[in-house]
């Protein structure tokens, strides 16, 4: 996608946000670096056969450098700040100015790119969105980090157009599903996690009768909807006998309607209605911090749209919390209640950065040094995106591993669309919850925007 298209997408995203009238809360950390003047792409764009480890290159150079890191996923802010502090000991001449936000990240990133303020490190969805920002991104093929990256992660960082290149790294592999409180389920007499839509409704009735909130939803955040919705998209594709990628392509080309797929038109919207009925008193005002509080203090039995990234925060509230993890019940076929696995986010390196080599030194150190490799499990508590024998202590990761081995992991369908689409989708669903649009109206907007934002080139 060309730079001029980013301007079109920016206008679309901003217009949609204004019309939707709903948004999530954002978090930030660090202070962005001052804008650097535009320069020609450095010669390092042709990767060398070998890149020295950051320890060696930092020791060999007295050059000072400032790296501006602007990414989404504020849930990893503490862990990334620890990573930055550790790197400062290795390369004291390098300053990493770190900024993070979740709300409106796609819009803010496009504004920076269109103004020429390209961060040295920025984030996008992996998969399809690799090509959206490809011309801004350094091809990491041949870098030291390539040798440690999980092959499945590397495949999500290649250009979907031709499968070439390595245009990003991942903070984590991931599991997506439903986190639940085992103790509450046991108290309510629910001996197994509900794996069908009818079982889920019955479970909610029991949990509510026992005096607990069945759900805390976080529907103030647009990205929660993409995490939930992808489970139903997978089921719709499977029952239609096509791949998830093929189904998404049909929507992008305007060849499909939501009402064509009962897993989406009925089951997904029914689940959202169920979560609102049995969830937070003010669902559109409940963001991530509200979810953590409600679940961590034992007021809610299930937490929507989250994954391993929230486990440390939950245990900080209650170290004895009995965390369970499973897929979403999406149909009355229990086999389709699966966790989703994969690497959904790519961190991109600016190809035109005036401090490209120090930035490469940092990410190579991250993926190859002893501290960097242990950071994923010991500090961030995520599924490592690198080849590793380390065992996670996090229940979501351990149970995700077991469930994927038992039932398989479903497709990471969010990677077939862009963040601009997902933000718009979340805002449409917020409008549906607020009552400003009915289900058919929401479906019509989803179909229109899917084609408008992610239509065939």
Per-residue pLDDT reduced to its tens digit, 360-397: 999 999 999 999 999 998 888 788 899 888 777 889 98
Give strand pairing partners of 67. 96
Let me know whether 57 and 112 are in one domain: yes
Residue 118's pLDDT is: 95
In tens, the pLDDT along 167-199 reads 999 998 888 999 999 999 999 999 999 999 999
Residue 47's pLDDT is: 38
Closest to 229 in 3D by CA, of 319, 135, 320, 340 = 340
* Average pLDDT rounded to a whole number, residues 149-169: 91
* Average pLDDT rounded to a whole number, residues 256-276: 98
Let me know whether 239 and 134 are in one domain: no
Residue 309's pLDDT is: 83
285 domain residue, yes or no: yes
Q: φ and ψ at 18, to 5 degrees?
A: -65, -40
258: domain CATH number? 3.40.190.10
Residue 34 or 365, more confident: 365
Query: What residues contact 191, with CB distance under 8 A and at least 6 apart?
Result: 185
* Average pLDDT rounded to a whole number, residues 416-425: 90
**pLDDT bucket at 307, cuts 50 / 70 / 90:** confident
Q: Are 271 and 224 in contact (CB under 8 A)?
A: no
* Average pLDDT rounded to a whole number, residues 237-250: 95
366 domain residue, yes or no: yes
The enclosing H or E element of 439 equals: helix 439-454
Residue 389's pLDDT is: 81
Burial class (CB in 10 A: 0-12, 13-18, 19+), 28: middle
At 294, list the tokens: 């409600």
Let me know whether 131 and 27 are in one domain: yes
Residue 230's pLDDT is: 97
Let me know whether 349 and 364 are in one domain: yes
Residue 16's pLDDT is: 35
At 111, list the tokens: 């504004």
Let me know whether 207 and 349 are in one domain: no
38 domain residue, yes or no: yes
Residue 293 or 453, more confident: 293
Burial class (CB in 10 A: 0-12, 13-18, 19+), 211: exposed
* Average pLDDT rounded to a whole number, residues 276-301: 97
Residue 366's pLDDT is: 97
**pLDDT bucket at 103, cuts 50 / 70 / 90:** confident
**Rounded Cα distance, 96 and 109, in Å:** 18
In tens, the pLDDT along 347-357 reads 999 999 999 99
In tens, the pLDDT along 40-97 reads 333 333 333 343 344 444 443 457 999 999 998 888 899 999 999 999 999 999 999 9
Burial class (CB in 10 A: 0-12, 13-18, 19+), 434: middle
**Rounded Cα distance, 423 and 226, in Å:** 8
Domains contained in the chain, number? 2
400 domain residue, yes or no: no
Let me know whether 85 and 217 are in one domain: no
Closest to 144 in 3D by CA, of 398, 341, 317, 368 = 368
Asked if the model's pLDDT at residue 111 lies above 90, the reply is: yes
181 domain residue, yes or no: yes
**pLDDT bucket at 28, cuts 50 / 70 / 90:** very low
**Rounded Cα distance, 36 and 350, in Å:** 12
Residue 202's pLDDT is: 98
Residue 12's pLDDT is: 37
To the nearest whole number, what is the mean pLDDT of the chain? Answer: 86
Q: φ and ψ at 324, to 5 degrees?
A: -115, 160
Lowest mean pLDDT segment, chosen from 33-37, 105-109, 169-173, 311-315: 33-37
402 domain residue, yes or no: no
Residue 312's pLDDT is: 86
* Average pLDDT rounded to a whole number, residues 389-416: 89
User: Other C-beta atoms within 10 Å of 333: how many?
Assistant: 14
Let me know whether 366 and 416 are in one domain: no
**Rounded Cα distance, 84 and 63, in Å:** 18
Let me know whether 26 and 116 are in one domain: yes
404 domain residue, yes or no: no
Let me know whether 104 and 190 are in one domain: no
Residue 457's pLDDT is: 38
**pLDDT bucket at 19, cuts 50 / 70 / 90:** very low
Let me know whether 134 and 272 are in one domain: no
Handedness of CA 271, 272, 278, 280 (dihedral sign): positive
Let me know whether 145 and 103 are in one domain: yes
**pLDDT bucket at 107, cuts 50 / 70 / 90:** confident
Using DSSP's 3-state secondary structure scheme, residue 195 falls into coil
**Rounded Cα distance, 180 and 301, in Å:** 6
**Rounded Cα distance, 386 and 329, in Å:** 30
Asked if the model's pLDDT at residue 329 lies above 60, the reply is: yes
Give strand pairing partners of 71. 100
* Average pLDDT rounded to a whole number, residues 109-133: 93
User: Residue 149: which domain range?
Assistant: 3-174+344-391
Lowest mean pLDDT segment, chosen from 36-50, 209-223, 249-263, 434-448: 36-50
Let me know whether 196 and 331 are in one domain: yes
Lowest mean pLDDT segment, chosen from 200-204, 302-306, 308-312: 308-312
397 domain residue, yes or no: no
Asked if the model's pLDDT at residue 5 lies above 70, the reply is: no
Residue 454's pLDDT is: 59
Q: Are 37 and 82 in contact (CB under 8 A)?
A: no
């Amino acid at each position: 996608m060309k730079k001029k298209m980013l301007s079109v997408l920016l206008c679309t995203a901003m217009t949609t946000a204004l019309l939707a009238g709903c948004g999530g809360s954002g978090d930030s950390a660090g202070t962005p670096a001052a804008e650097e003047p535009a320069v020609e792409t450095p010669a390092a764009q042709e990767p060398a056969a070998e890149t020295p480890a950051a320890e060696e290159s930092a020791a060999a150079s007295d050059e000072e450098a400032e790296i501006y890191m602007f990414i989404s996923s504020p849930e990893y802010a503490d862990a990334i700040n620890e990573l930055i502090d550790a790197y400062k000991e290795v390369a004291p001449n390098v300053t990493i100015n770190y900024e993070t936000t979740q709300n409106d990240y796609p819009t803010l990133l496009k504004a920076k790119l269109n103004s020429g303020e390209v961060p040295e490190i920025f984030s996008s969805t992996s998969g399809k969105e690799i090509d959206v920002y490809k011309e801004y991104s350094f091809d990491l093929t041949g870098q030291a980090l390539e040798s440690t990256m999980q092959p499945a992660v590397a495949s999500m960082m290649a250009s979907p157009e031709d499968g070439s290149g390595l245009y990003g790294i991942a903070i984590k592999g991931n599991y997506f599903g439903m986190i639940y409180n085992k103790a509450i389920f046991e108290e309510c007499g629910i001996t197994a996690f509900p794996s069908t839509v009818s079982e889920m409704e019955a479970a909610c009735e029991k949990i509510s009768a026992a005096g607990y909130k069945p759900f805390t939803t976080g529907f103030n955040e647009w990205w929660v909807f993409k995490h939930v919705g992808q489970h139903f998209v997978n089921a719709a594709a499977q029952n239609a006998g096509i791949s998830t990628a093929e189904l998404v392509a049909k929507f992008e080309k305007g060849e499909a309607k939501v009402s064509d797929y009962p897993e989406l038109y009925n089951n997904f919207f029914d689940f959202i209605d169920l979560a609102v009925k049995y969830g937070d008193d003010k669902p559109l005002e409940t963001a991530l911090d509200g979810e953590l509080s409600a679940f961590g203090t034992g007021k809610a039995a299930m937490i929507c749209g989250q994954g391993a990234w929230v486990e440390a925060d939950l245990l900080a509230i209650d170290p004895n919390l009995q965390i369970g993890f499973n897929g979403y019940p999406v149909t009355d076929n229990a086999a389709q209640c699966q966790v989703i696995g994969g690497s959904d986010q790519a961190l991109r390196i600016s190809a035109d950065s005036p401090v490209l080599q120090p930035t490469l030194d940092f990410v190579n150190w991250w993926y190859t040094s002893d501290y960097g490799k242990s950071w994923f499990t010991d500090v961030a508590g995520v599924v490592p995106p690198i080849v590793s024998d380390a065992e996670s202590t996090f229940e979501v990761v351990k149970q995700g591993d077991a469930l994927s081995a038992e039932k398989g992991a479903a497709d990471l369908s969010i990677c077939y669309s862009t963040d601009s689409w997902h933000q718009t989708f979340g805002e449409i669903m917020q409008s549906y919850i607020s009552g400003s649009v009915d289900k058919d109206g929401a479906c019509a907007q989803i179909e229109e925007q899917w084609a408008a934002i992610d239509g065939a080139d």
